[in-house]
Amino acid sequence: MKIEIIIVLAILVLGCSQTINSNDKKVASNAIESPRASESKPKVSFTFDDGITRDIAMYPFEEWNRMILTALKEAGVTATFFVTGSNKLDTKGRYLLKSWSNEGHAIANHTYTHPNFNSETMTVEDFEEELLKTDTVISEYDNYVKLFRFPYLKEGKTEEKIAGYRNVLSKHEYKNGHVTIDASDWYINGELIKFIKKEGIDNPKIDQYKAYYLQHILERASFYDSLSYQLTNRHINHTLLLHHNLTSALFLDDLIAYFQNEGWEVISTDEAFQDAFFAETPNTVPAGESLVWSVAKETGAYEHLLRYPAEDSRYEKPRMEKLGL
Q: Which residues have a Cβ under 8 Å from the Cβ of 38 and sit 6 or more positions away?
A: none
pLDDT at position 36, please? Answer: 47
Residue ranges of domains in the chain, CATH in brackets: 2-8+41-322 (3.20.20.370)
Answer yes or no: is pLDDT of 29 > 70: no
**H or E element: which one contains 313?**
helix 313-322
Confirm if 148 and 108 have CB atoms less than 8 A apart.
yes
Residue pLDDT, tens place only, 60-79 = 999 999 999 999 999 999 99
CA distance 283 to 295: 8
Residue pLDDT, tens place only, 86-107 = 999 999 999 999 999 999 999 9
Question: What pLDDT band is residue 234 in, cutting at 50, 70 and 90?
Answer: very high
Q: Which residues have a Cβ under 8 Å from the Cβ of 67 and sit 6 or more positions away?
A: 249, 250, 252
CA distance 194 to 197: 5
3-state secondary structure of 282: coil
